[in-house]
Structure 1
């Protein structure tokens, strides 16, 4: 993991969890924007991603591995003894919610960007095979139909994702089934629905996730402070797309207002 500390008087700490098949370098723009606004940032690469996954051909990590990684990020962020916020994008948003439901941790709020609560696209299998994933061997390979052109319609954002690390969307059946199970369980009524402040943002032009399911999930939560925003022009990756300056202002204002609500003085 890495830490980027603000040169200003720190207001809060932000933990960023990227989506599947990405890595932390894609988020240089967001990290710098947060630093300039007075936030420390803690981030790294999910297990099997970034340099760690450079020479592997397929994602077969377990959710437990991802959650252990998030726990380490949060422990590092909490050591600053400041309000801690989580930003989870795509699969990172799903994992953030899963972590917060399972762990009692001092999180001041969570920002979810195009979270994977339901996917429009599936692996390169015929529909009948998808309906019978249980009959497929766990180590069988699927290729998820998620290409970079579906992530952003912004040339600059696309160029920020164009690097020397191979973008691979190959996963095992066991990986896919476990992620699908987590998404399904997020909608099961329980006493562990989130009660912390939530900012949920979706993209109207998203070709990867079902944005209506994200809206439904938000209304199931027990939080008394939540916001929902659908960005009309953006594709899936809100922090890389055309409206990202406005998206960031929403994030900044949400963090500042929530931090004020905790009794902190924010300039």
Structure 2
């Protein structure tokens, strides 16, 4: 877990959970934006991701370890004794949503971007066929072709990240089966999560996940304050898109409004 402290007096903390296959270094721009706007940032790499992915041929980590990681992330964020915002992107957003379905999280609000609830990209047909073979096929490896080019239309980000050795989309079929179970369980659960302000942002041209499922999930929640924004023309990674500055300002406005509502001077 890493901490980046605000440039000047901090008004809150933001804990960020990244998506599948990537790592915290892809968030350098966003971390710096939050720091310069008065927020401490707490972030790490999901189990099996980042440097840990160098040592593994494929993602095979237990999904329970992701839940434990989120607990540790929030706990680390609370040490500052400031309001905590929890932000999740892609699979990270889904993991946060699922965690909230199981228990409460002590935070001021949630920010969810491009949640994975219904994927448009799947491993090869061979992998799908092997998955029906049960335990015999659990350790069979496949590639989940979520490429940088499908995540963003920002050419500078693409050229920087396309050969990133830490971006690893090799998976075992057991891991992918657990992923599908998580998406289904999160999407279909009827009970509402705890009453927290939520900002959900999706991308109109998302090539990875169907944003309509995320919007439907949000509408099912019995919450006092929800904010939904679909960014036209954008791809999946909203904070890497050419509109990233506008996306950040929209997010910051939501956070400042939440802070005002709980009595903090912004």
TM-score range, shorter chain: over 0.9
Secondary structure of 2:99's aligned partner: helix
Q: Distance in 1 between matches of 2:28 and 2:159?
A: 12
How far is 1:164 from its partner? Answer: 4.9
8 Å CA contact 2:23, 2:167 repeated in 1: no
* Equivalent position of 2:103 in the other structure: 103
**Partners of 1:143 and 1:169 within 8 A in 2:** yes
CA contact under 8 A between 2:78 and 2:84: conserved in structure 1? yes
| Structure 2 counterparts to residues 49-198 of structure 1, below 5 A | 49-126=49-126, 129=129, 132=132, 134=134, 137-162=137-162, 164-198=164-198
Scaled by the length of structure 2, the TM-score of the pair is 0.94
Q: Which residue of 2 aligns with 1:13?
A: 13
> How far is 1:118 from its partner?
0.9
Normalized per residue, the structure richer in helix is: 2
Q: Which has the higher mean CA deviation after the structures are superposed, 188-197 or 92-101?
A: 188-197
Shift of 1:222: 1.5
How many residues were matched structurally?
266
Distance 1:140 1:163, change over 3 A: closer
Distance 1:242 1:17 in 2: 22
Partners of 2:62 and 2:247 lie apart in 1 by 31
**RMSD of aligned alpha carbons:** 1.9
Q: Could you list the runs of 5+ residues in structure 2 that have no partner in the other structure?
A: none
Distance 1:181 1:60, change over 3 A: same
Rounded Cα–Cα distance in structure 2 between residues aligned with 1:132 and 1:211? 28
Distance 1:149 1:85 in 2: 29
- TM norm structure 1: 0.93
Task: Give the equivalent residue in structure 2 for 1:34.
Answer: 34
For 1:242, the equivalent position in structure 2 comes to: 242
Distance 2:57 2:135 in 1: 23
* Separation of aligned partners in 2, 1:128 and 1:165: 26
Q: Does structure 2 retain, via aligned residues, the 8 Å contact 1:93–1:115?
A: yes
In 2: Cα distance, 1:145 partner to 1:104 partner: 34
In structure 1, runs of 5+ residues without a counterpart are none
